[in-house]
Amino acid sequence: MAATEQILPRLHVIEVPLPKSPLKVLNAYVVSGSDRNLVVDTGFDHPECLAALRQGLHDLHVDLDRTDFFITHLHADHFGLVYRIVRPGRTVYFNAPDAEWVRSWKGWEEMVAHAERNGFPKDALDGAIRNHPGYRFMAQIPKEMTLLADGTRLDIGDYRFRCVSTPGHTPGHLCLYDPEKRLLIAGDHLLQDITPNITCWREGINPLRDYLDSLEKMKGMEIDHVLPGHRRRLGNPAARIDELRHHHLKRNEEILAILRDGPRNAYDIAGRMTWDLDCPSWEDFPLPQKWFAMSEALAHLRFLEREGKVRRVAEQPLFLYAL
């Protein structure tokens, strides 16, 4: 039996297990209305996830023939199952920046080349990709999606949601906010026990800047309930917003300290950073975690480069960064 819990009237959570993922569980939220329902996020495209989501929806007596889906962002643990479970004629709500990213996807070759140029060992790349959840649980794109933007209204039953654009974790990450109920369905923008992974795999973007700006945007909102995509729920998020901001600024200082010893590539920098992972050394990190760590180091390097505190001093054969 899938774990379900009522949070507020006509608002439930289904705990969808995430096999072999340190995230462990996705929180899929179900908002019930008299004429239609809304499910927020779905889980990996994996049989265990599908069985749990279906069981949870069954236990909550959710009629899929009148149920729409809202996907907060493009990652496989949120987006993966929607194409399997949405019924014909029902709506999948998404956002334009992430939809463009998904539709323009040409495979892993571009990311692999970028990782290699940033120092990821060539002989480890295949293992890192094959164990990456985005590769293992890659989902089909629904044929039709309704793309929402910042400020768009979405009314379900007694809930009057407004879409809030919160780029950073992904280019188009969207939250749902009900100002009357002071409720935020936050996806991976605000997490209590872990920090959202901020990655940088393309030129011309500054995702950490976007994320910090999105955090600042939240500080002006009246929120008493935060429903995250993973782990525990939050109350008023002000303290957590400050913690997340401090975490990233501290990471910036850590990278600047590492670079005082001379130019380094992003993989080398990531290996010298402090990570909250139960491994004795960088060499013992699982390959997917090394991939995520390097991608976060790249996001910080891009931020510092735009701030004029770091320079990319070499491009062949590897990108090197220096003060």
Domain ranges of the chain: 3-237
Joined together, the tokens standing for residue 18 give 């995430």
**Segment among 61-70, 134-143, 209-218, 300-309 with least mean pLDDT:** 134-143
Q: What is the model's pLDDT at position 1?
A: 58
Which of 196 and 279 is assigned the larger pLDDT? 196
CA distance 51 to 59: 12
| φ/ψ of residue 176, rounded to 5 | -115, 130
The per-residue pLDDT for range 131-171, each reduced to its tens digit, is: 888 777 877 889 899 999 999 999 999 999 999 999 999 99
Q: What is the mean pLDDT of residues 205-231?
A: 97
Amino acid at residue number 19: P
What CATH architecture does domain 3-237 belong to? 4-Layer Sandwich (3.60)
What pLDDT score was predicted for residue 277?
80
Residue 27 DSSP SS3: strand
Residue 184 scores a pLDDT above 70: yes
| Cα(214)–Cα(313) distance, integer angstroms | 30
Q: What integer pLDDT is reported at residue 24 of this predicted model?
A: 93
- Arithmetic mean of pLDDT, 288-308: 96
The CA distance from 84 to 147, in Å, is 19
Contact 55, 64 (CB under 8 A): no
Q: Calculate mean pLDDT across residues 47-58.
A: 97
Calpha distance 265→195 (Å, rounded): 23
Low-confidence winner among 164-173, 200-209, 235-244 (lowest mean pLDDT):
200-209
Angle at 303 between CA 233 and CA 124, to 5 degrees: 80
Rounded to an integer, the average pLDDT of 283-288 is: 90
Q: Lowest-pLDDT range, 183-187, 215-219, 275-279?
A: 275-279
pLDDT of residue 301: 98
Instruction: Work out the mean pLDDT of the chain and round it to a whole number.
Output: 94
**Mean pLDDT, range 123-129, rounded to an integer:** 89
CA distances from 118 to 182, 321, 322 (A): 43, 10, 13
For residue 105, is pLDDT > 90? no
The type of residue at 59 is D
Pick from 188, 169, 176: nearest CA to 225: 176
- Residue 17 clears pLDDT 90, i.e. is over it: yes
Residue 207: which of 175, 166, 174, 252 has the closest Cα? 166
Residue 279 pLDDT more than 90?
A: no
Is the pLDDT reported for residue 103 higher than 90? no
> How far from 182 is each of 115, 159, 178, 302, CA to CA, in Å?
41, 11, 6, 34
Which distant-in-sequence residues (6+ apart) come within 8 Å of 13 by Cβ? 4, 5, 7, 27, 28, 29, 30, 227
Strands 3-8 and 11-17: antiparallel
Confidence band (pLDDT; 50, 70, 90) for 300? very high
- Position 55, amino acid: Q
